[in-house]
A = this chain, B = another copy of it.
Amino acid sequence: MFLYLIEHVNRMTANLNPCLSVDCVVFGFDGNELKVLLINRDPSTGCEQSGKLKLPGDLIIRSEMLTIAAQRILSEFTGLHDIYLKQFGIFDDPQRLNSRNDLEWLENRSDLKIERVVTVAYYSLVKIDKSVQTDLSIAYNACWYSCSSIPLLIFDHNNIIDKGLDALRRELLTEPLCFELLPEKFTLNQLQRLYETILGCELDNRNFRKKIQRLPYIVPLYERQNGVNHKPAQLHVFDNNKYASLKKDHTVFIL
Chain A positions within 8 Å of B, measured between CB atoms, are 17, 19-20, 62-66, 87, 90, 92-94, 115-116, 118, 120
| A64 contacts across to B, CB distance below 8 A | 94
Q: Which residue of B lies closest to A68 (CB)?
A: B92
Q: Contact: A116 with B63, CB < 8 Å?
A: yes
Partner of A65, one of B66, B94, B115: B94
Q: Contact: A90 with B66, CB < 8 Å?
A: yes
Q: Which residue of B lies closest to A66 (CB)?
A: B92
Sampled A-B contacts (21; CB under 8 Å): A17-B19, A17-B116, A19-B19, A19-B20, A20-B20, A20-B118, A62-B115, A62-B116, A63-B94, A63-B115, A63-B116, A64-B94, A65-B92, A65-B93, A65-B94, A66-B90, A66-B92, A66-B118, A87-B90, A90-B90, A90-B120
Q: Which residue of B lies closest to A65 (CB)?
A: B92
A173 vs chain B, min Cβ distance (A): 10
A250 vs chain B, min Cβ distance (A): 11
Q: How far is the CA of A188 from the CA of B203 in the complex (A)?
A: 37
The residue in A64, A116, A118 that gathers the most chain B C-beta atoms within 10 A of its C-beta is A118
A94 vs chain B, min Cβ distance (A): 5
A131 vs chain B, min Cβ distance (A): 27
| A87 contacts across to B, CB distance below 8 A | 90
| A20 contacts across to B, CB distance below 8 A | 19-20, 118
A91 vs chain B, min Cβ distance (A): 10
Beyond known contacts A63-B115, A65-B94, A66-B92: 18 more, CB 8 A cutoff = A17-B19, A17-B116, A19-B19, A19-B20, A20-B20, A20-B118, A62-B115, A62-B116, A63-B94, A63-B116, A64-B94, A65-B92, A65-B93, A66-B90, A66-B118, A87-B90, A90-B90, A90-B120
A164 vs chain B, min Cβ distance (A): 16
| A94 contacts across to B, CB distance below 8 A | 63-65
A169 vs chain B, min Cβ distance (A): 12
| A65 contacts across to B, CB distance below 8 A | 92-94
| A115 contacts across to B, CB distance below 8 A | 62-63
| A17 contacts across to B, CB distance below 8 A | 19, 116
| A90 contacts across to B, CB distance below 8 A | 66, 87, 90, 120
| A63 contacts across to B, CB distance below 8 A | 94, 115-116
Q: Which residue of B lies closest to A116 (CB)?
A: B63
